[in-house]
Chain A
Amino acid sequence: MTLSKLSLRNAGRQARDYLVYAVTVVMAAALLYSFNGLVFSQEVRQLSEKMNTLPLVIVLASMVVVCIFGWLVSYATGFMLSRRSRELGTYILIGLTNKQVARLFFLENLAVGSAALVLGLALGGLLYQVLRAILFAMFGLSYHFALNFSLPAMGLTLFYFALIYLCALGRSRKRIHKMKIYDLIYLERQNEGVVIQTGKLRRRIFAVSIVLGVAGTAMLMAGSLLIGITGAGCLIFALFGFFLSFASGVPAFFEKRPARKYQGQNVLIFRTLTAKLATMGIVMAVISMIFTATLLTEGSGLVMSGIFRGRSVESACFDLYFGIEGENQDPGPYMDYITEHIPVEQSVLYQVYLSDQPQVRDYVSSRTVYYCYNYDQDPILCWSDYAALRSIAGYPAVEPEPGRYLFHCMTYLEVPLRDYDQPITLGDTTLTPGSVYTEHLSQSLGVTNGRGYILVVPDEAAEGLAVHHLAYAAKTLQPVPAEGYDALTDIAYREYNKQENPLGYGFVSTKANEAAQVAVQTALLAFPMFYLALALAMTAATILTIQQLSETERYRSQFTLLRKLGVARQEMARALGRQFAIYYAMPAVPSVLIAAPFIFHLARIPEPGVMVGMNSPGIIVIISLGIFFLIYALYILLAYVSLRRNVLSQ
């Protein structure tokens, strides 16, 4: 038996005993590799010119991820060191030098790390395909599965892993070198003392943490960087104060209430929780902090991608659209280009009119949050143009309603507009309210079909009304290529500069360009956020699970004893389940309380009409929590299954 052989064997045992950790390290490698794949992919960069910054963004995100995983590995190896002190002491006892023991431990972790890296690379190859498929779908391209491994990506992953492991193992090496054999053999871990002793101080700290927590959450939402950072500081204090005072308060609570203590399995749960109070309090606080960070990052990612999508769907309803306002509304240059370069199936060139007064706008502003700039009167469309637009956008035809005016609006204005019962008068025609339609019709920006809403009136009623702008919408035979979009925006820019007092803008949008823009923004901003969130969540859940599973021995002897005392298996399973539920719920609760209002607030910041439907603030909060708890549940399940098998079997 040589040192390396022994290390290898210990590595095998480590992978078994700390399975959850090993799985996380594999996942870490997979995650790093798959994102590195994006860094080096030629194909991905060719998706759009703007994707050129993607490598930089991903490398920056990866650095943070490396720090996160580095901390995890460092924590886990440190944890193993203290867990296995007796074993290490025995090595020294029989004559190994500290140096040899350090080498043993180093080799063991190196073996686990390398195995994880190899597995992770294989898994990462698949994960990269998933990322690729998502990207392709976002850019509206068809995806073909093609498993190919990128050497540079592998090299970079290897480099990151070396960083992670060298730092962590360097630290544990130092620790081993300093270890005294006496401490190793005799420092059997004892129950830890209560950190905050007196009840009065404890209650005070508890109260202060709650206040700080609420204040910190509020400051986080203030929207100023400095106040936000102060808020984050407050939250860190709050979490530590909360968990330390809470953990210290548990024994007092039960000591004062013996009846509660001996009720059902309480005494068991209580003793398990109090056995490691000090570490428990700190671990819980740190985990809770990471969970909060996870939820905030993930929520921000979701809000961002929500904004990108929400802003673009409205403009993406026409294959090709342009609008011109200002003094000289001449579609000539645009039309020349389109006729020459873009095959069109159906199109309409139309005008958006204005009513005499902003009566609907005033009503809407009084009913809901509405940004009203750009139109001083209510915008109006005539029926035949509206029918053409519906047909071009691919919506079902609707019945004309003589003597009435219709609303076409974005969904956030639907309810108030349905309630609107005032007639409007245009010249000498008076029209009563008719139906309300809410399909996307390019209504979110200025030189489009109204802002949020537009009135549709019979053609004859629109005659003689003031014109706000000229617009064009078309259904094309093929998606408009990027050059087409660029050429048209160039024209808009030239036309703008031709005006004597440039005020009116030309606005161009194409379905293809909108999709590409969303894809680019999502890839550059939301992707890295999810990447970070995933790394954070995995790290925190792993640490919790390592802590929990290290108690297996204690549980096992406890339950064996209980069985001898005649406690039913079912009863024990229930106690275990409850203990588990409390343990895993504790750090998650404060995080949810902090993050949910923040995400909700964040999702309400964009202009109205963007965060609606699946992007509405409430739903974003639910999705954020949902994704987070899905990952969390996976770890809980893994831990529970393993603990149940070890503790309740036989």
Chain B
Amino acid sequence: MLQVQNIEKYYGNKNNVTRALDRVSFDVEAGEFLAIMGASGSGKTTLLNCISTIDTVSAGKILLDGVSIADLSQEELAKFRRERLGFVFQDFNLLDTLTVEENIGLALSLNHTDPKAVQDRVRDVAQKLGIIDILGKFPYQISGGQKQRAACARAMVAGQSLLLADEPTGALDSKASKNLLEIMSAMNQDMGATILMVTHDAYSASYAGRVLFLKDGRVFNELLRGERGRSVFYHEILDVLAALGGDVSDVI
């Protein structure tokens, strides 16, 4: 469903160019759980931002269902983000003034979906993600793990087809991380969500079905999980990371 073709991204001016992405290409199939790994500064966030239309590429093309996202107008982009993309960030993008329920349902209700239907869908998703009890609370009243689950709920409540997550476990403790990752796997397997997750953490990546390794803005390696168990996959990821460079300690 997603095709990334030879994209490049430069930062800075003529004298001082940072090449954050260097001819990156890959495809994502519908229903896939893809992790993108790399050391800090390797271009992961930049890549995700380009896909999520937050940022624009300097060269190359990104196609979603065959449509180049660079060709979309402002209005179409908004509609596209609303209906196709869901976001989960490291530092929770929930609005402080809204309750969890309102946060999840905001995009839906602002676009004139019938209020009753909004509520039903929010409750339905919240039920699946185990946050039904905290729907009435405000973000500052809940834990980091709950916030991330709320963000996940928001990312799929409108039936979005692609969930983009940037270091979703970055601010969570190991228990909450595990919980979130399991929920994401369930979203992928049981609800058919396509997930693209950026992480520097091998443990998180081991939940994915495929791992793409970035180094200095280039795709360095690719690892498929296939039928192997998670812990085997985890160790394979660690091996690739070791090969990637001496900075394993930084990555883990």
Most buried by B among A87, A94, A182: A94
Q: Which residues of B contact A9 (CB under 8 A)?
A: 97-98
Give the distance in Å from the alpha carbon of A182 to the alpha carbon of B97 in the complex: 22
| In the complex, A501 has a CB within 8 A of chain B | no
- Nearest CB on B from A80, distance (A): 14
Chain B residue nearest to A95 (CB atoms) is B82
Contact A182 B95 (CB under 8 A): no
Interface majority SS (helix, strand, loop, mixed), chain B: helix
Tell me which residues across on chain B come within 8 A of A86, comparing CB atoms.
93
- Quick check: B78 and A95 within 8 Å, CB to CB? yes
Q: Is there an interface contact between A97 and B74, defined as CB atoms closer than 8 Å?
A: yes
* Contact between B110 and A100, CB atoms less than 8 A apart: yes
Judged by a CB distance under 8 angstroms, whether A465 is at the interface is no
In angstroms, how far is the closest chain A Cβ from the Cβ of B83? 7
> A147 interface residue, CB < 8 Å from B?
no
Q: Report chain A residues within 8 Å CB of B79.
A: 95
Partner of B93, one of A3, A90, A98: A90
Q: B98-124: which have CB < 8 Å to A? A: 98, 102, 105-107, 109-111
How does the 8 Å CB contact mask read for B65-88 relative to A, with 1 for contact and 0 for none? 000000000110011111101010
Residues of B within 8 A of A185 (CB): 54
Cβ B107 vs Cβ A95 within 8 A: yes
Q: How far is the CB of B151 from chain A (nearest CB, A)?
A: 10
| Smallest CB separation, A6 vs chain B (Å) | 7
Q: Do residues B97 and A97 form an inter-chain contact, with CB atoms below 8 A?
A: no
**Which residue from chain A places its CB closest to the CB of B154 in the assembled complex?**
A94
User: A residues within 8 A CB of B74?
Assistant: 97-98
Q: A182-B55, A185-B54 are in contact. Are A96 and B97 (CB under 8 A)?
A: no
Q: Is B161 an interface residue (CB 8 A)?
A: no
Question: Does B49 contact A182, Cβ atoms closer than 8 Å?
Answer: yes
Chain B residues with CB below 8 A from A96, complex form: 78, 82, 107, 110
User: In this assembly, does A93 line the interface, its C-beta being within 8 Å of a C-beta of chain B?
Assistant: yes
Bound complex: CA A182 to CA B20 (Å): 15
Q: How far, in whole Å, are A1 and B118 apart by their CA atoms in the complex?
A: 10
Contacts of B102 in A (CB 8 A): 1
A547 within 8 A of B: no
Q: Which of A55-102 contact B (CB under 8 A)?
A: 86-87, 90, 92-98, 100
Is the beta-carbon distance between B54 and A95 smaller than 8 angstroms?
Answer: no
**Contact residues in A for B158 (Cβ distance below 8 Å):** 95
Given contacts A9-B97, A10-B97, contact A94 B109 (CB under 8 A): no
Asked if A342 lies at the interface with its beta carbon under 8 angstroms from chain B, I say: no
Number of A-B contacts (CB under 8 A): 61
A3 adjacent to B87 (CB under 8 Å)? no
Q: Are B49 and A94 in contact (CB under 8 A)?
A: no
Interface residue A650 (Cβ < 8 Å from any Cβ of B) = no
CA distance A100 to B79 in the complex (A): 12
Knowing A1-B102, A182-B54, the reply to whether A90 touches B95 (Cβ < 8 A) is yes
Is A13 on the interface with B (CB-CB < 8 A)? yes
Q: Are B95 and A95 in touch, CB under 8 angstroms? A: no
Beyond A95-B83, A96-B78, A97-B75, is A13–B110 a contact (Cβ under 8 Å)? no
Indicate whether A93 sits within 8 Å of B87 (C-beta atoms), given known contacts A9-B97, A13-B97, A87-B95.
yes
The 8 Å CB contact of A93, one of B81, B83, B98, B109, is B81
Q: Is the CB of A1 within 8 A of B107?
A: no
Question: Could you tell me the distance between the alpha carbons of A92 and B80 in the complex, rounded to whole angstroms?
Answer: 11
Contact residues, A1-37 vs B (CB, 8 A): 1-3, 6, 9-10, 13
Asked if A94 meets B81 with Cβ closer than 8 Å, knowing A2-B109, A2-B110, A182-B55, the reply is yes
Q: Shortest CB–CB separation between residue A89 and chain B, in angstroms?
A: 8
B81 and A95 form a contact (CB under 8 A): yes
A47: CB under 8 A from chain B?
no
Instruction: Closest B residue to A94 by CB, please name it.
Output: B107
A648 at the B interface (CB under 8 A): no
Minimum Cβ distance to chain A for residue B95 (Å): 6
* CA A10 to CA B95, docked complex, whole Å: 11
* B78 and A92 form a contact (CB under 8 A): yes
Residues of A with C-beta under 8 A to B109: 1-2
Determine whether the beta carbon of A94 is less than 8 Å from that of B97. no
Known: A3-B110, A87-B95, A182-B49. A94 touches B87 (CB 8 A): yes
* Distance in angstroms between the alpha carbons of A6 and B87 in the assembled complex: 21
- When the two chains form the complex, which single residue of B54, B78, B105, B106 contacts A97, counting CB atoms closer than 8 Å? B78
CA distance A94 to B103 in the complex (A): 10
Q: Which residues of the other chain, B, contact A92 by a CB distance below 8 angstroms?
A: 78, 81
B85 vs chain A, min Cβ distance (A): 8
**Is residue A575 contacting chain B, with contact meaning CB distance below 8 A?**
no
Q: Report yes or no: A93 in contact with B54, Cβ–Cβ below 8 A.
A: yes
A95 CA / B72 CA spacing, docked (Å): 14
Q: Which of B54, B98, B105, B107 has the most CB of A within 10 A?
A: B54
Nearest CB of B to A624, in Å: 43
Q: Mark A239-281, 1 if CB is under 8 A from B, else 0.
A: 0000000000000000000000000000000000000000000
Distance from A528 Cβ to chain B, minimum over Cβ atoms (Å): 42
Closest A residue, CB atoms, query B96 = A87
Question: What chain B residues lie within 8 Å of A286 (beta carbons)?
Answer: none
Q: Which residues 574-619 in A have Cβ within 8 Å of B in the complex?
A: none
Q: For the complex, is A218 an interface residue (Cβ under 8 Å from B)? A: no
Q: Are B105 and A1 in contact (CB under 8 A)?
A: yes
- Whole-angstrom distance between the Cβ of B196 and the nearest chain A Cβ: 15
Q: Are B54 and A181 in contact (CB under 8 A)?
A: yes
Complex Cα distance, B56 from A182, in Å, reads 9
Q: With the chains together, A181 CA to B53 CA distance in Å?
A: 9
Q: Verify B82–A94 contact, CB threshold 8 A.
A: yes
B238 to chain A, nearest CB (A): 31
Contacts of A6 in B (CB 8 A): 98, 106, 110
Most B-side CB within 10 Å, residue of A1, A92, A95: A95
Residues in A whose Cβ lies below 8 Å from that of B97: 9-10, 13
A599 to B105, CA, bound (A): 61
Given the complex of chains A and B, what is the CA–CA distance between A97 and B79 in angstroms? 8
Chain B residues near A2: list those with CB within 8 A: 109-110
Task: Report how far A185 CA is from B94 CA in the complex, Å.
Answer: 13
Contact with B along A173-205 (1 / 0, CB 8 A): 000000001100100000000000000000000
A95 to B55, CA, bound (A): 15
Interface hits, B3-33 → A, CB 8 Å: none
The contact string, 1 if C-beta is below 8 Å from chain B, for chain A 90-130, is 10111111101000000000000000000000000000000
Bound form: Cα–Cα A86–B94 in Å:
10
B154: chain A residues at CB < 8 Å are: 94
Q: A86-B93, A181-B54 are in contact. List 10 more A-B contacts (CB 8 A).
A: A1-B98, A1-B102, A2-B109, A6-B98, A9-B98, A90-B94, A96-B107, A97-B74, A97-B75, A98-B74
List 30 contacting pairs A-B, 8 Å CB cutoff, sorted by A.
A1-B102, A1-B106, A1-B109, A1-B110, A2-B109, A2-B110, A3-B110, A6-B106, A6-B110, A9-B97, A87-B96, A90-B94, A90-B95, A92-B81, A93-B54, A93-B87, A94-B81, A95-B80, A95-B81, A95-B85, A95-B111, A96-B107, A97-B74, A97-B78, A98-B74, A100-B110, A181-B53, A182-B54, A182-B55, A185-B54
Q: Which residues of B contact A (CB under 8 A)?
A: 49, 53-55, 74-75, 78-83, 85, 87, 93-98, 102, 105-107, 109-111, 154, 158
Q: Which 7 A-B pairs have the closest CB atoms?
A: A95-B82, A97-B78, A94-B107, A95-B81, A1-B109, A182-B55, A95-B107
